[in-house]
Amino acid sequence: MQKLTITRPDDWHLHLRDGAALKAVLPHTVRQFARAIIMPNLKPPVRTVADAVAYRDRIIAAIPAGQQFEPLMTLYLTDNTSPEDIVAAKESQFVKAVKYYPAGATTNSDFGVTDIRKCDRVFAAMQQVDLPLLLHGEVTDQAVDVFDREQVFIEQQLIPLKQRFPKLRVVLEHITTSDAVEFVLATDNIAATITPQHLLFSRNILFKGGIRPHFYCLPILKRETHRRALLQAATSGNPKFFLGTDSAPHPRDRKESDCGCAGCFSALHAMELYAEAFESADALDKLEAFASFYGPDFYQLPRNTEQITLTQKTWRIPDEVPFVESGLVPLWAGEEIAWQIS
């Protein structure tokens, strides 16, 4: 039986929600990861240090007794975020980054930024105090094809942003295209997170045998050529690419709907999914650095010292796990997977 023992990983992009949903999903992440960058897209969003303190306290209160987990907080950038908010965030020590959502791009992004240029004073402050900017890198222009929105964001918004603020440290979150890989490789002070779904699946899976809402997330899955480019980047050993699940739980009845929510739930089995992807590229030896080293190195935090073990053992991903009003369907539910965390 093959075993893989690695340094305990962290999740550098996670949606934990709040209230009963938070209590339901947090134990899964705590089983897998030591720390996580917590997305601020609550309703209303986490906009100030005070909001982040309160949310962090609610997360800590939901950690199962006797277990260790450190939530790393982020602020949600709005048209009204001020340079003073950035200084306060940096001084707080526990706010690790600021998240940019274009208004209307995705779940709970109504408070997002209406024009990225409106934030230049804030970006200048972030560059000055060295607080990273996390990007949901898609344009929202409805005239742009949904499969092209990441590439157009890079061309129209990110390239000019990096020209205006070359020293601003940026994470292009949940990248989905070879264009994003190439841009990250060619540009200083920018890294990227990659999700398990974008490493394992192309957009074909969305329509395999019928419409499959549990594979729908944003940015949407792309063609196979892009998936291969992402897998190549993740397994290349380049520290600019690291783990971020974007686990984004929605109740089953909100996904299986005439207007289903975007988001894949992967906190249950994240490391197993990544192991599956890395094994497919014959690159299990590259998993530890991707999952456990390059993220803390980017965020200038110490690497974890504990370890976890993945065992080669086939098991079936459950159809559903308990959640709120209705159950929660994990990514790739019902399929067999070859690795198990112990």
Positions annotated as catalytic residues are 246
Residue 10 is a binding residue for Zn ion (CB under 5 A): no
Distance in Å, CB of 171 to ligand NCD, minimum = 13
Neighbours of 54 (CB within 10 A): 11
Is 244 or 310 the residue whose CB approaches ligand NCD more closely? 244
Residue 288 is a binding residue for Zn ion (CB under 5 A): no
Q: Which of 62, 55, 56, 53 is nearest to 20 (CA)?
A: 62
Secondary structure (DSSP) of 17-47: -SHHHHHHHHHHHHHH-SEEEEP---SS---
User: Using CB distances below 5 to 8 A depending on partner kind, what does residue 138 bind out of Zn ion, ligand NCD, none?
Assistant: none
Distance in Å, CB of 246 to Zn ion, minimum = 4
Q: Are 323 and 24 within 8 A, CB to CB?
A: yes
Is 266 or 304 the residue whose CB approaches Zn ion more closely? 266
Distance CA(312)–CA(261), nearest Å, equals 33
Residues interacting with ligand NCD, by CB under 6 A?
Answer: 15, 41, 106-108, 136, 217-218, 246, 248, 262-263
Residue 138 is a binding residue for Zn ion (CB under 5 A): no
Q: Which of 240, 185, 248, 238 is nearest to 215 (CA)?
A: 248
User: Using CB distances below 5 to 8 A depending on partner kind, what does residue 262 bind out of Zn ion, ligand NCD, none?
Assistant: ligand NCD
User: Using CB distances below 5 to 8 A depending on partner kind, what does residue 107 bind out of Zn ion, ligand NCD, none?
Assistant: ligand NCD
Burial class (CB in 10 A: 0-12, 13-18, 19+), 52: buried
Cis peptide preceding 71, ω within 30 of 0? no
Does an H or E element contain 322, and which?
none
Hey, what are 238's tokens? 């380049």
Is 29 or 107 the residue whose CB approaches ligand NCD more closely? 107
User: Using CB distances below 5 to 8 A depending on partner kind, what does residue 106 bind out of ligand NCD, Zn ion, none?
Assistant: ligand NCD
Distance in Å, CB of 231 to Zn ion, minimum = 20
Is 219 or 251 the residue whose CB approaches Zn ion more closely? 219
Is 8 or 149 the residue whose CB approaches ligand NCD more closely? 149
Residue 246 is a binding residue for Zn ion (CB under 5 A): yes
Collapsing DSSP to helix, strand or coil, 238 comes out as coil
Using CB under 5 A as the criterion, which residues of the chain lie in contact with Zn ion when the complex forms? 246
